[in-house]
Amino acid sequence: MEGQLRTLANMQALDDEIGRYRVLQRELPKQLNDIIDSVDQATANLLICETARAEIGKKQRGLEADIKQHQEQSRKYATQLSEIKNNKEYKALNSEISYLKTKISEIESQLLELMDEDTAAKEQVDNAKKELEKAEQCKRDKEGDLRMQIEGLEAKIEEIRAERNDLARTLPVSVVKQYGNMIKNKNNQAVAYNREGSCGSCGFVIRQQMRIELQLMRKLIFCENCGRILMNRFAEEPTESKEA
């Protein structure tokens, strides 16, 4: 019976390992998605920043064209001015010219503001580029490795499962059935160890009589609360012992 118990303990150790790989099977694809997501987000963000900067550039060019037009107009008026003899027309044209000058200086101060906006926008674009580079670097560094790990997990689990099944073949079918049901239905845990007089899994106190039986190792003992196979932890680490 001690051999059976050791085998069950070894099987549980393998199922624990499978459990850890199952967690990775859930976690690693999430990590991979996060990495890909951050590249997508950084790309989208860079596009937003570049679009915003392009808008500013467009406004600047529009205003510069306005200035040019006003200047040309102003020069045209100035030429006309020298040809005018009529005082009233002279005044009217002169006030047109001074209106254009005011307009130009207004636009120039708008342009100065836009230059500040452009500086800020350029900084945002630069930052967004850096973020994207960082995200892409992270993807380059980790994606391949993660994909390989994810692809390898199922094979790894199969390998351990085969090892566990080899152990199971050395046990009576009824015991294997009980064990398998608990692995399936009791959170991947069929074996619970005596932890200072309580079930190591559910914490239920083990009666004195059962504690003695645990030491004797003459039959399988089940936790009266959770139903798991109870045993004392073996002094040494569970070995690959396959004797029944």
Contacts of 230 (CB under 8 A, 6+ apart): 192, 193, 194, 199, 206, 210, 214, 221, 222, 223
Place of tokens 């106190």: 205
DSSP character at residue 217? T
Residue type, 117: E
C-alpha to C-alpha distance for 143 and 160, rounded to whole angstroms: 26
- Selected range binding Zn ion among 11-19, 41-49, 168-176, 199-207, rule: CB under 5 A: 199-207
Burial of 33 (0-12, 13-18, 19+ CB in 10 A): exposed
- Selected range binding Zn ion among 29-37, 38-46, 60-68, 223-231, rule: CB under 5 A: 223-231
Ranges within 20-39 binding Zn ion (CB under 5 A): none
Q: Does 204 bind Zn ion (CB under 5 A)?
A: yes
- 132 or 182: whose CB is closer to Zn ion? 182
Among 84, 104, 150, 202, binds Zn ion (CB under 5 A): 202
Helices 2-83 and 173-185: crossing angle in degrees, nearest 10, is 30
Q: Does 198 bind Zn ion (CB under 5 A)?
A: no
Q: Does 226 bind Zn ion (CB under 5 A)?
A: yes
C-alpha to C-alpha distance for 192 and 126, rounded to whole angstroms: 57
- 111 or 202: whose CB is closer to Zn ion? 202
Q: Does 9 bind Zn ion (CB under 5 A)?
A: no
Minimum Å gap between C-beta 208 and Zn ion is 16
Q: Does 210 bind Zn ion (CB under 5 A)?
A: no
Q: Does 225 bind Zn ion (CB under 5 A)?
A: yes
Q: What is the DSSP string of 145-196?
A: HHHHHHHHHHHHHHHHHHHHHHHHTTS-HHHHHHHHHHHHHTTT--EEEEET
Q: Does 199 bind Zn ion (CB under 5 A)?
A: yes
Among 168, 223, 229, 231, binds Zn ion (CB under 5 A): 223
Minimum Å gap between C-beta 19 and Zn ion is 18
Ranges within 144-163 binding Zn ion (CB under 5 A): none
Minimum Å gap between C-beta 221 and Zn ion is 11
Q: Is 203 left (phi over 0), alpha (psi -120 to 50) or beta?
A: left
Minimum Å gap between C-beta 194 and Zn ion is 10
- Token code pair at residue 127: 């930052």
Sites of contact with Zn ion (CB under 5 A): 199, 201-202, 204, 223, 225-226
